[in-house]
């Protein structure tokens, strides 16, 4: 089976022009089939604030009312996505920017209201692996933002880590897939005060212990949940660390296995 790498970058890298440029240069040198997924939560929050719109996050997810949906569509689907695509073109990568509505690539269902009403937030229901594969086979590099659609004309906001894991699960019908979650730290840290205390390997048992000890908190909670979900659904390998993990010489990052 051919391999496919799904690389995800978060808001902290996107916010820093130098970090973004370094990342994109490394990404452009990644060999073989690849897909990029980007977030941009921090940019959405700052632009919403300039427009007088307050941002509310619950359990790591943005409460997305109609006004916020407009902002995130402009920020993720426009500003961030098109800038990244243009920068990749400058690096000779024939990138194509996509929301889940484009080529009907990612369908989702509005998250049902239980204790919290998240508004226009979508949980992924289907990834059109054949259509995405046509792009890859055509020589294009798909660049997904954190927007999906319900198939009935409604765009929905979906966490970018979830997009990466769901796209990887979908594409694993055709490829041996691996995910690279790139963020500003070297990996999952044993001691948050010590940036070098990278945990090199997390398996199911270690994951439980880290949760019990309260070492995994905040944004790392949904991130690792996504990782184990993906590994249980056909994804071959998951790595988490800073952008240097895309180079062959660096092994100071976290590898996640079942």
Ligand X SMILES: CC(=O)N[C@@H](CCC(=O)OP(=O)(O)O)C(=O)O
> Residue 90 or 217: which CB sits closer to ligand ADP?
217
The residues of the shown chain that bind ligand ADP, judged by CB under 6 A, are: 10-12, 39, 183, 185, 188-189, 192, 215-220, 223
Is there a binding annotation on residue 12? no
Q: Tell which one of 7, 24, 39, 144 touches ligand X (CB under 6 A).
A: 39
C-alpha to C-alpha distance for 242 and 210, rounded to whole angstroms: 20
Is there a binding annotation on residue 62? yes
C-alpha to C-alpha distance for 95 and 28, rounded to whole angstroms: 10
127 bridge partner residues: 106
149 binds ligand X (CB under 6 A): no
Q: For ligand X, which residue has the nearest CB?
A: 39
Is there a binding annotation on residue 40? yes
C-alpha to C-alpha distance for 251 and 246, rounded to whole angstroms: 9
CB of 251 to ligand X, least distance (A): 24
> Residue 118 or 175: which CB sits closer to ligand X?
118
Q: What share of the chain is helix, strand, coil (3-state, %, to 5)?
A: 40, 25, 35
187 binds ligand X (CB under 6 A): no
CB of 153 to ligand X, least distance (A): 19
Task: Quote the tokens at residue 189.
Answer: 């840290």
Helix (H) / strand (E) element for 240: namely strand 237-241
Give the sign of the dihedral formed by CA 182, CA 185, CA 186, CA 187: negative
> Buried b / exposed e across 129-147, counting CB within 10 Å, b at 16+?
beebbebbeeeebbbbbbb
Is there a binding annotation on residue 214? no
72 binds ligand X (CB under 6 A): yes
41 binds ligand X (CB under 6 A): yes
Cβ distance 183 to 13 under 8 Å? yes
Residues numbered 1 to 20 that lie near ligand X (CB under 6 A) are: 10-11
100 binds ligand X (CB under 6 A): no
Positions that interact with ligand X (CB under 6 A): 10-11, 39-41, 44, 61-62, 72, 121, 146, 157-160
Q: Which residues does the annotation place in the binding site?
A: 40-41, 62, 157
């Amino acid at each position: 089976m051919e391999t496919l790498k799904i690389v995800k970058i978060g808001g902290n890298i996107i916010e820093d022009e130098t970090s973004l440029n370094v990342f994109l240069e490394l990404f452009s040198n990644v060999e073989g089939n690849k897909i990029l997924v980007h977030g941009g939560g921090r940019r959405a929050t700052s632009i919403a604030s300039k427009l007088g719109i307050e941002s509310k996050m619950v359990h790591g997810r943005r409460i997305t009312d109609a006004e916020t949906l407009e902002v995130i569509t402009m920020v993720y689907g426009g500003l961030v996505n098109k800038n990244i695509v243009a920068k990749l073109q400058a690096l000779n990568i024939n990138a194509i920017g996509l929301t889940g509505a484009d080529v009907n690539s990612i369908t989702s269902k509005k998250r049902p209201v239980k204790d919290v009403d998240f508004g226009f937030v979508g949980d992924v229901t289907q990834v059109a692996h054949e259509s995405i594969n046509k792009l890859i086979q055509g020589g294009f590099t798909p660049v997904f933002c954190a927007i999906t659609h319900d198939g009935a004309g409604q765009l929905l906001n979906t966490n970018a880590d979830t997009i990466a894991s769901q796209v990887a699960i979908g594409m694993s019908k055709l490829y041996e897939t691996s995910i690279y979650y790139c963020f500003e730290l070297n990996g999952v840290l044993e001691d948050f005060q010590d940036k070098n205390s990278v945990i090199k390997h997390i398996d199911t048992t270690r994951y439980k212990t880290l949760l019990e000890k309260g070492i995994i908190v905040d944004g790392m909670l949904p991130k690792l949940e996504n990782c184990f979900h993906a590994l249980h659904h056909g994804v071959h390998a998951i790595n988490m660390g800073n952008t240097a993990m895309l180079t062959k010489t660096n092994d100071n990052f976290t590898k996640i296995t079942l």
